[in-house]
A = this chain, B = another copy of it.
Amino acid sequence: MSRAFTNPHLLSEETVKNVLRIADEIGYVPNHTARALSTGRYANIAIIVPDIANPFFPPMIKAAQEDADNSGFCVFLGNSNEDPAREDQLLARFLGQVEGFILVSSRLGEQRIRHYVERCPLVLINRDIKGLPRVLIDSGPGVSEAVHHLAELGHKSIAYLSGPKRSWSNTQRLAAVKKAGRELDLKVSVISTTTPSYQAAREVSARLINTGATAVISFDDLTAQGVIAGLSDHGLVVPRDISVVGCDDVLDAATHPSLTSVSSRSAESGRTALSILLDFLRKGNTGDIRFSLDTRLVSRETTARPRLP
């Protein structure tokens, strides 16, 4: 039976046919778990994300899952809920039944991540740890492009609405805004929120207005929408009074006015991470991989010339 299912070429055609026929008759299906225990090949991988409901992640999960599927792998999905402890628990729970992990925007300490890497192949997305395979969506170019776009429109003072302090993408975006601002001789103000939520962003609008900025680049699209609502609470209209740029481009053009945003390439990052993982499973150590995906600005309706004073 085992051979008929896994190595049919080792058996005579007739035997194989016979076995398969009988299996079908009695409704026999090979037991995935027993096979995994015996071979150590689980044919499972796990993807762990901070928040499934954040629209940034589904395209990534979908892409990775589709490719995994085509390679005969099943995928576990873990939702850490932005909580390192939960993430850790998830990793531990999956450990005994997967051949590899894709860890997205991990909030876990580097120590813990290395702990798991020693036990199971793992590739990171949007977390930059030397020596570990990682794919990074580099918002630098896109954000930089956004600043240039604003400067060209005539803005002299801009603000960056910051995301989670420990987030790699936030660090990246903040740095890009500052760098481009310096190069173009713009005033750059930075505003922080407690959490990167719509509501938090909405509530921070007064501080935003006080900076005197005529344009805002926000940590992501969700907070950008919060900013737009918050500005409206103060009677300001986007883009007439203030221009707004989001990041991740998860809304496509589906809001009104449609949001100018920095593309995220979420799906590609998932596909890339999966292919790195599968490569590793097939060929073993592949050296220090750091795959960087550039971003671009998608210019839409929330950016315009600043209103004359």
How does the 8 Å CB contact mask read for A27-66 relative to B, with 1 for contact and 0 for none? 1011111101100001010000001110101110110011
Question: A223 to nearest B CB, angstroms?
Answer: 10
For chain A, residues 166 to 225, give those with C-beta under 8 angstroms from any C-beta of chain B.
Answer: 198, 222, 225
The residues of B that contact A93 with a CB separation of less than 8 Å are: 32, 72, 74
Q: How many chain A residues touch the partner (CB < 8 A)?
A: 54
The residues of B that contact A228 with a CB separation of less than 8 Å are: 256
> Quick one: which of B30, B72, B76, B81 contacts A76, CB cutoff 8 A?
B76
Check if A33 sits within 8 Å of B96, measured CB to CB: yes
For chain A, residues 65 to 114, give those with C-beta under 8 angstroms from any C-beta of chain B.
Answer: 65-66, 69, 72, 74-79, 81, 86, 90, 92-97
A232 at interface, CB cutoff 8 A? yes
Q: Which of A18-26, A140-148, A247-255, A289-297 contacts B (4 or more CB under 8 A)?
A: A247-255
For chain A, residues 249 to 289, give those with C-beta under 8 angstroms from any C-beta of chain B.
Answer: 252-258
The residues of B that contact A226 with a CB separation of less than 8 Å are: 254
A229 at interface, CB cutoff 8 A? yes
The residues of B that contact A42 with a CB separation of less than 8 Å are: 33
Check if B74 sits within 8 Å of A62, measured CB to CB: no
> Quick one: which of B29, B52, B76, B77 contacts A96, CB cutoff 8 A?
B29
Check if B34 sits within 8 Å of A52, measured CB to CB: no
Distance, CA A154 to CA B77, complexed state (A): 48
Check if A74 sits within 8 Å of B76, measured CB to CB: yes
Which of A61, A119, A198, A254: most chain B CB closer than 10 A? A254
Check if B62 sits within 8 Å of A79, measured CB to CB: yes
- List 11 extra interface pairs beyond A29-B95, A53-B62, A225-B255, CB under 8 A: A31-B96, A52-B58, A53-B58, A65-B79, A69-B86, A74-B78, A76-B77, A77-B77, A198-B252, A225-B254, A232-B256
> Quick one: which of B52, B66, B90, B198 contacts A61, CB cutoff 8 A?
B52
Question: A96 to nearest B CB, angstroms?
Answer: 3
Question: A201 to nearest B CB, angstroms?
Answer: 10
Closest residue of B by beta carbon distance from A232 = B256
Closest residue of B by beta carbon distance from A72 = B93
The residues of B that contact A77 with a CB separation of less than 8 Å are: 61, 65, 75-77
Check if B79 sits within 8 Å of A66, measured CB to CB: yes
Question: A247 to nearest B CB, angstroms?
Answer: 15
Check if B79 sits within 8 Å of A76, measured CB to CB: no
